[in-house]
Amino acid sequence: MYDLILFDLDGTLLDSDQMIIETFKELYPLYRPGYFPSIDHILSFSGPQITETLKKEFPDGDQELILKEFKERSTKNYVKYSKLYPGVIEMLKELQLKRVPFAVVTNKHRYATDYTYKLFGVENLIPFSVCADEVKNLKPAGDGILQCMDHFGVKNPQKVIYIGDGQIDYLTAKNAGVKFGYVDWSPRSLLEGSKVDIHIKNYQQFLEEIL
């Protein structure tokens, strides 16, 4: 059905929402005492590049120091609070077995992406990834998707689908001219009028629909 299947990482393959919440719970008292936004606001941080989020949330702080603190605290909290969504391992293995080309396009940097893969044992299951420090323009620009298409030699964008969990992923797919699949478990809703090509309730259903 598709010549190439692309996935976002956080919120799509990896449930890292609680990690994000716990990490910012630790950062706000240090760099913005007396302030704590809603959980929904913190959950919106999954998607944009973290350096931009830190600038917005802590505009008066030393950005290098805050980024260092974020890396240290999020690394610790990854181990405690993050997990793959149900069926991810089985889905990746099935895609490999069926020789369906697939990859990940994420706004994570390479160091964080590789750390995540190793932590959850999927470094040998994901054949190709495009990370934040490997494109000129980050999501929602379509650069990462186009780079994947070039890597796999896929020419027709209508034979490509990008799976994601929020408006940034939706716009990324649209900007690249490819199909969009939305994971229904996401707490990040799409704007009214956003056109979804596939609603994904779970990855077993997704496999049955596309294979």
The string of pLDDT tens digits covering residues 91-144 is 999 999 999 999 999 999 998 899 999 999 999 999 999 999 999 999 999 999
Q: Say what the pLDDT of residue 22 is.
A: 97
How do 198-200 and 160-164 pair as beta strands?
Answer: unpaired
Locus of tokens 């494109």: 135
Q: Is the pTM of this model over 0.85?
A: yes
Q: Say what the pLDDT of residue 126 is.
A: 97
Q: Say what the pLDDT of residue 1 is.
A: 85
Q: Say what the pLDDT of residue 105 is.
A: 98
Locus of tokens 């009214």: 192
Asked whether the beta carbons of 172 and 140 are under 8 A apart, the reply is yes
* Positions of the chain with pLDDT lower than 50, given as ranges: none
CA distance 104 to 95: 13
Tell which CATH classification among 2.40.30.10, 3.40.50.11890, 3.40.50.1000, 3.30.2270.10 matches the domain 4-15+83-210.
3.40.50.1000
Q: Say what the pLDDT of residue 10 is.
A: 96
